[in-house]
Structure 1
Amino acid sequence: MELTLAAAFLIGLASTLHCLGMCGAISGALTLSLPAKVRESPPRLVTHVVAYGLGRTGSYAVAGAITGIVGTALLRGIGDVGWVHMAARILAASVLAGIGLYLAGWFPRFAQIERIGVPIWRRVEPLGRRLLPVSSPLHALLFGVAWGWLPCGLVYSMLIWTLTIGDVLQSAMMMFAFGLGTLPGVAVAGVFAARLTQLARRTHLRQIIGLSIVAVAIVTLVYP
């Protein structure tokens, strides 16, 4: 379990380099919507940004719990059959490897999976916009909860991975770990956007991160 949580956190960190445009834009919208007195006070600004990140991470954890429930029901419904668990392990490793190849820039079509959540997002997005301008940390938290359902290929790939775990708590924890991994990059996106963009353009760095995730996929397959 420690390995899968570490992998989820690593993917969250790596996603900042790959999805800087989307994450930075949302973080920027949050920052610009804050009152001037909040933007000019670093402690208060950090509080709002962290609240937003925790709200988004909470949504990831809820989504992970849902996929955990579905995955557990499916596995139990099929029964304790050896080939079923082996198939689940192969699917989990394949998804994880796909994420690694996607982050490395070798499998861009992997992002098309985000089309799955478009119908849900059409209902949630208006609610998120109504929360602007953000006026308090609680408001920022709710803003994060809403925008945590934004269609994202990496998030949905992670959810497919958790679907194969067969454990509700672990699935939720994996998505929470993934969300925590995204927090540092998203939190500083508005301040260090130029620097992060330069890092995102470093092909070798992205490939190293992607190959590291592929290696984790192989390890999880060989050593369950």
Structure 2
Amino acid sequence: MSLNLFPVFVVGLAGSVHCIGMCGGIVGALSAGAPRRTIPIVPATGSAALAQADSGAARVLAYNAGRIGSYMVAGALAAGLANGAANLAKIAAWQGFAYLLANVMLVALGLYLMDAWRGLAHVEQAGKVIWRRVQPLMQALLPMDTLPKAFALGGLWGWVPCGMVYSVLLMALLSGSAAGGAAVMLAFGLGTLPMLLALGLAGTRLRAALQQRRVRLACGLLVLAFGLLGMARYAGGLQHGWLDALCVGAP
């Protein structure tokens, strides 16, 4: 089954409000650079201040490149290891089930972002088995004061247990190929990028604004709408056409 990448990108964009709590702190630390001195120093000005800003932005970009890269690896592995499912995808009944399942996961994700249903939190708990193996590797990357360290940290952080990532990873698995799975996770990662770049460059004020309940509610409703549209289309209640661009795939 082929999946449309546009709704996956929008899911990443709307769902990135969830990333604020999980990734916002570390991105803010990256933008600040190396640990600050305890004794205040005269603030940098002119070219020195510009160099510091450029360095912080570069570290934020390196971190996000590593994070999105790890998403793509996970997507490729999930889809590549699902060769049996890919063969089954040639069966019409399996195609319909896979399409419905992908949209059910969007509904679950929308409710999760709205804090209306926390079922995906149980999935995050299960993923802690992976995290326990990854977490010790981070100690060698602190302090995060170079581009290679920021990139490697992002690559490791991409394996942090996250219900949102897992729900999109299921869509990647249903793509039927390693390349397709990587493309799905790339679209999702690029959707989360604007939010995390803004957090890294704007800091805690933006983080506080985006954590407001009304913001999470609006983003959750958007993701929920994608899932409900797909389910309605599956049930035959909506005609194809312009809806193709708003649904994760074709049943």
**Structure 1 residues 125 and 86, CA, compared in 2 at 3 Å: closer, same or farther?**
same
TM-score in terms of structure 2 length: 0.78
User: Is 2:65 aligned against 1:54?
Assistant: yes
User: Is 2:207 aligned against 1:196?
Assistant: yes
**Structure 1 residues 137 and 79, CA, compared in 2 at 3 Å: closer, same or farther?**
closer
Report if aligned partners of 1:16, 1:23 keep a CA contact under 8 Å in 2: no
Report if aligned partners of 2:17, 2:219 keep a CA contact under 8 Å in 1: no
Deviations 1:7-56 (A, max 9, x none): 22222222332331221122134345527779961112101110110100
Report if aligned partners of 1:111, 1:154 keep a CA contact under 8 Å in 2: no
Shift of 1:181: 1.8
2:7 is matched with which residue?
7
TM-score in terms of structure 1 length: 0.86
Aligned positions, number: 222
**Structure 1 residues 165 and 211, CA, compared in 2 at 3 Å: closer, same or farther?**
same
- 5 Å-filtered alignment, 1:105-144, equals 105-144=115-154
Report if aligned partners of 1:38, 1:44 keep a CA contact under 8 Å in 2: no
Report if aligned partners of 2:15, 2:219 keep a CA contact under 8 Å in 1: no
Shift of 1:153: 1.1
2:23 is matched with which residue?
23
User: Is 2:170 aligned against 1:160?
Assistant: yes
Deviations 1:81-129 (A, max 9, x none): 2211111111111111111121122222222211232111111111122
Report if aligned partners of 1:55, 1:142 keep a CA contact under 8 Å in 2: yes
**Structure 1 residues 207 and 4, CA, compared in 2 at 3 Å: closer, same or farther?**
farther
Deviations 1:161-210 (A, max 9, x none): 2222223222211111211222222223253322332232142x333322
Shift of 1:147: 1.2
Matches of 2:89 and 2:172, distance apart in 1: 19
Paired AA for residue 186 in structure 1: L
Matches of 1:130 and 1:156, distance apart in 2: 27
Report if aligned partners of 2:131, 2:161 keep a CA contact under 8 Å in 1: yes
Paired-residue identity, %:
37
Report if aligned partners of 2:3, 2:175 keep a CA contact under 8 Å in 1: no
Moved more, 18-27 or 52-61: 18-27
**Structure 1 residues 38 and 4, CA, compared in 2 at 3 Å: closer, same or farther?**
farther
User: Is 2:81 aligned against 1:70?
Assistant: yes
2:39 is matched with which residue?
none
Structure with higher helix content: 1
**Structure 1 residues 115 and 88, CA, compared in 2 at 3 Å: closer, same or farther?**
same
Compute the RMSD of aligned alpha carbons: 2.6
**Structure 1 residues 201 and 74, CA, compared in 2 at 3 Å: closer, same or farther?**
same
Matches of 1:79 and 1:104, distance apart in 2: 32
Report if aligned partners of 1:38, 1:45 keep a CA contact under 8 Å in 2: no
Q: Which runs of 5+ in 1 are unaligned?
A: none
Matches of 1:7 and 1:156, distance apart in 2: 16
